[in-house]
Amino acid sequence: MRTIKLIIQYDGTAYCGWQEQPNGPSIQETVELALAKILGQRVRVQSSGRTDAGVHALAMPAVFKTESGIPLKAFVDGVNSHLPDDIAIQSAEEVPECFRIIGGAVAKTYRYTVYNHHVRSPLCRRTSWHVRQTLDLAKMREAARHFIGEHDFSAFKGRNCSAVTSIRRIDEVNIQRNGHLITIDVTGGGFLKNMVRIMAGTLVDIGRHRFEPEHIVLLFEQPERRLGGVTAPAQGLYLLNVQYPAENHSEY
């Protein structure tokens, strides 16, 4: 039995998220159906994590198992020819059977993009959150430092989050402005449901002086969702990359 790791890029606009849902097509189902065209049978594709409806991924890792001996190239070019234009396999590699797509990840990086201008942008509308009021980046960066380390992120999780613990580790939060675009890059050990979107929403609320930067500290001490900032909309969020310990495998 072979274990194949895929890297998948997608524009999440038209999907209900990674995972199958009754209310629309999922990335997972769409990938599984395209893969079935190549393999001749449906297999389960397990991703490194779920993304919400409308969230994008530059590089989502996922694995499946197969007895098929077809070359790795077929899992990229072959599967892509059966996928719609908003999803594409970027690479395929064979990994050891013991490879753990969920528990094995070392770190994940998400990017949240804000379009910060008094007028909206048609060209950035699908890939950013439009915030009219000029944001105070110095305050946002001051606040971002408080996220670093291990904390109880209960104030930063979506209502129906099913995680056993809300303790998460954040390694880095990097905020940059380029013209009207502000990017918030967050790297950490793992994330709760909606966590990056609530972190971004709270940072934006601090940038528009709704809260002081120290409000983040209070949210760790008094971890209640109602005390946090808004949940930033899905279209501004991208999964950039998931890191696994370095190994050597064949890859296409």
- When binding is defined by CB under 8 A, the residue of 43, 58, 105, 167 that contacts its own copies is 58
- When binding is defined by CB under 8 A, the residue of 1, 22, 23, 85 that contacts its own copies is 85
d(CA 217, CA 88): 40
d(CA 15, CA 8): 14
Q: Provide, rounded to whole angstroms, the least separation between the CB of residue 245 and its own copies.
A: 24
Question: Of 8-16, 29-37, 189-197, 223-231, which segment contacts its own copies by CB under 8 A?
Answer: 8-16
Question: Quick check: is 152 catalytic?
Answer: no
d(CA 205, CA 186): 17
The two three-digit tokens of residue 71, written as one number: 């070359």
Question: Is 241 a residue that touches its own copies (CB under 8 A)?
Answer: no
Which one of 52, 77, 136, 171 is the catalytic residue? 52
Question: Which x/- pattern over 10-29 shows residues binding its own copies (rule: CB under 8 A)?
Answer: xx------------------
47 by DSSP, 3-state: which?
A: strand
Number of residues that bind its own copies (CB under 8 A): 23
The residue type at 187: T
Task: Between 127 and 166, name the residue whose CB sits nearer to its own copies.
Answer: 127
Query: Of 193, 210, 191, 204, nearest to 232 (Cα)?
Result: 204
Q: Which residues contact 171 (CB under 8 A, 6 or more apart)?
A: 107, 148, 187, 188, 189
Q: Which residues are catalytic?
A: 52
Question: What residues make contact with its own copies under the rule CB under 8 A?
Answer: 9-11, 56, 58, 76-77, 80, 85-91, 119-123, 125, 127, 238
